Amino acid sequence: MRTKTVVQALIVLIAMTGIAIADDRSPASPSDISKTITPNHSAVPQIDGVIKAVVVKSWSGCSSGSVVWDDLNANWASYGSTPIFIDYSYPGLCDGPITYAGLVASGANVVLISDPSGGGQQYSIDEINAIRQYAADGHNVIGTYLLLQYSPVDNRGLADIFGLRSDLNYNTVEEPFVNVYNILEPTNPLFKNIAGTYDSQGYPNTQIPVDLSWNASDLNGARYVARGTDNKAVITIYDTPNYSAVYITSMPEFNGGTEDKQFLYNAIVYKALPSVSFSVSTDKSVYAPGETVQLKINITNPTTDTYSSKLALDIYWPSGIGITLLSKAFTMTPGLSVVKVIPIPIPNSVFVANGDYKFTGTLTYGSNVVTSTAPFTITRP
């Protein structure tokens, strides 16, 4: 009964405050990603929103021989609506030495490292640090096949950029696999337009730890999103606050088929475009009974897409019991920007227990679900 009284008070306060989502939108202002692309020797298509990937010190050198770069540049529209361009011949990046200044000058949104160890491309510490710094600036990284090690090349210094372990030994001779992946996250955009299994026609060999298995202990922050049907090959994603790194242990770009090109296209555009952001937060972390929590809700849609959406807000007591305070459906329009601060007084009552509480907001838009949590503590003086 005591908990119910407090909950009823909170629900009334939320209802009285209201969240006029549809009325707070700002004018649509889609991001023009093409403005970040610095013209160079390569024929970057003059289309708004191009996602540019730059190939650095890879098996194919500064060419598209035996790999699908030219094909994807010419036929990207077969795989999605976002234009891409793969620059595989940028001076100083495709042939080294790779520098941070060179990466910045390339204007690339994504760094692509294709089978470097298999191509005899040894990375220096300075080159690895340049890629690490550029990724930390907000640029995604893609790695393929013999990324880490192949006799006599040792590029395990790249491992932490991909959320992998640099202290493991990996195969230094070729290791074949069946070239078919079971998809572990079917709704992940990395596998858009790839139904069922991912049947690769690329080079049918894999990078793998020397114990010939990929286990949970082999990761250092990344997660498995696909696994070869014989458990020898994997696809991993490492999502950090600043960038995402995708690694496939085989080589789909080597004479790859339709699904390989689709996968590579998906990897290039993966989180490289503006995306919806959502957060809930409180004005401070510790409150006393009788004080007021200023709960801030922030929703931004920088994309050009319209979504059928729903916002839910729950509060959880120290006991773990959760109550829904708000559930509101709305249409998320392009350029929507909402910042709402809801004052929620804490009753000055003996029924309010000391302990750790939290607000949890859940935003559903289209098929996407984003959750944000705002913990706080109530301490009676």
Strand locations in 102-150 (E): 110-114, 140-144, 149-150
CB 236 within 8 A of CB 242: no
Mean pLDDT of 354-381: 90
Q: What pLDDT score does 335 carry?
A: 87
* Of 46, 251, 270, nearest in space to 139 by CA: 270
- In percent, the amount of the chain with pLDDT more than 90 equals 75
pLDDT tier at 33, thresholds 50, 70, 90: very low
Is residue 25 scored above 70 in pLDDT?
Answer: no
Q: What pLDDT score does 4 carry?
A: 43
Q: What is the mean pLDDT of the chain?
A: 87
The predicted-structure confidence for 42-74, as pLDDT tens digits, reads as follows: 455 555 579 999 999 999 999 999 999 999 999
How many CB atoms lie under 10 A from the CB of residue 256?
Answer: 22
Q: Which residue has the higher pLDDT, 18 or 76?
A: 76
Is residue 19 scored above 80 in pLDDT?
Answer: no
Q: What pLDDT score does 63 carry?
A: 95
| Alpha-carbon gap, residue 358 to 370, rounded angstroms | 16
Residue whose token pair is 């491992």: 159
Q: What pLDDT score does 294 carry?
A: 96
Partners of 277 in the β-ladder = 300
The predicted-structure confidence for 77-92, as pLDDT tens digits, reads as follows: 999 988 999 999 999 9
Q: What pLDDT score does 305 carry?
A: 76
Q: What pLDDT score does 48 carry?
A: 55
Is residue 116 scored above 70 in pLDDT?
Answer: yes
Cα 141 vs. chain centroid, distance in angstroms?
A: 10
Q: Which domains does the chain have, with CATH numbers?
A: 2-29+275-378 (2.60.40.3880), 33-269 (3.40.50.880)
pTM for the full predicted model: 0.66
Least confident of 35-39, 161-165, 207-211, 236-240: 35-39
Is residue 173 scored above 50 in pLDDT?
Answer: yes
Q: What pLDDT score does 28 carry?
A: 26
Q: What pLDDT score does 47 carry?
A: 56
Q: What pLDDT score does 30 carry?
A: 19
Is residue 184 scored above 50 in pLDDT?
Answer: yes
Q: What pLDDT score does 303 carry?
A: 74
The predicted-structure confidence for 275-322, as pLDDT tens digits, reads as follows: 788 999 999 999 999 999 999 999 998 877 788 999 999 999 999 999
97: cis peptide before it, omega within 30°? Answer: yes
Mean pLDDT of 90-114: 96
| Alpha-carbon gap, residue 25 to 302, rounded angstroms | 11
Q: What pLDDT score does 368 carry?
A: 75
Is residue 3 scored above 80 in pLDDT?
Answer: no
| Alpha-carbon gap, residue 300 to 26, rounded angstroms | 10
